[in-house]
Chain A
Amino acid sequence: DTEVTQTPKHLVMGMTNKKSLKCEQHMGHRAMYWYKQKAKKPPELMFVYSYEKLSINESVPSRFSPECPNSSLLNLHLHALQPEDSALYLCASSQDRERTGGNTGELFFGEGSRLTVL
């Protein structure tokens, strides 16, 4: 099983709503990532979890709240978003390079959740 599964595929929400994006992998990877991708732009790193602990937060606004309940799951909780937050949100996982030397550390991506904020 080499899949990273993201739900929902599409989400439309108002600025006052609270919603969550979910990501799941069963490859035994211990690092999980959230990236944000605007149209015609590269993915921008938001958060990295390593061994279920937040290791990188790229100065993301607090209206985005990540959560890693266990090694297979990664959530992104959304609250009071702005229209400019509309984007494709990509989840990825990798073997944790620091703890498992010798692996190539590539990211395995999900298909993304396309978010529209009205």
Chain B
Amino acid sequence: GEDVEQSLFLSVREGDSSVINCTYTDSSSTYLYWYKQEPGAGLQLLTYIFSNMDMKQDQRLTVLLNKKDKHLSLRIADTQTGDSAIYFCAERYSSASKIIFGSGTRLSIRP
């Protein structure tokens, strides 16, 4: 079935690293994405990883992909108050046009 799972909440101290985890279902997924949604706004693409990669780094963001376990993670280094948002992982199914979103993880930053 189509099910992308994430933990619902994460709270970190400002300046620490945040790690948001995701498990997905389609072993033939080609691309996996991380989106950020701030209150009242649409979704903004943060980064993506192709399924034949294990890791991708983009400034403060590091994506790790474990294809065997169908596990994806997003690490945000030096978390800032502006990082407060809901983070969605998403997978593009091998049937091309379909992108399915995880349940979203609400990241809150404490001083």
Contacts and interface: CB of A to CB of B under 8 A. Distances in A.
A104 B88 CA distance: 17
Interface stretch (B67-75, B76-84, B101-109): B101-109
A104 B56 CA distance: 14
B33 A97 contact: no
Query: How large, as a class, is the contact surface on chain A?
Result: 20 to 34
Contacts of B55: none
B59 interface: no
Contacts of B92: 97, 105
Interface in B44-65: 44-45, 48, 50
A53 to B, nearest CB: 11
A85 interface: no
Interface stretch (A11-19, A42-50, A64-72, A75-83): A42-50
A45 B99 contact: yes
Contacts of B10: none
Contacts of A56: 97-98
Nearest to B42: A109
A45 B100 contact: yes
B45 A107 contact: yes
A90 interface: yes
Given A41-B103, A42-B103, A106-B33, A55 B97 contact: yes
Interface of A: 4, 31, 33, 40-45, 48, 50, 55-56, 90, 92, 96-98, 104-112
Interface of B: 30-31, 33, 35, 41-45, 48, 50, 88, 90, 92, 96-104
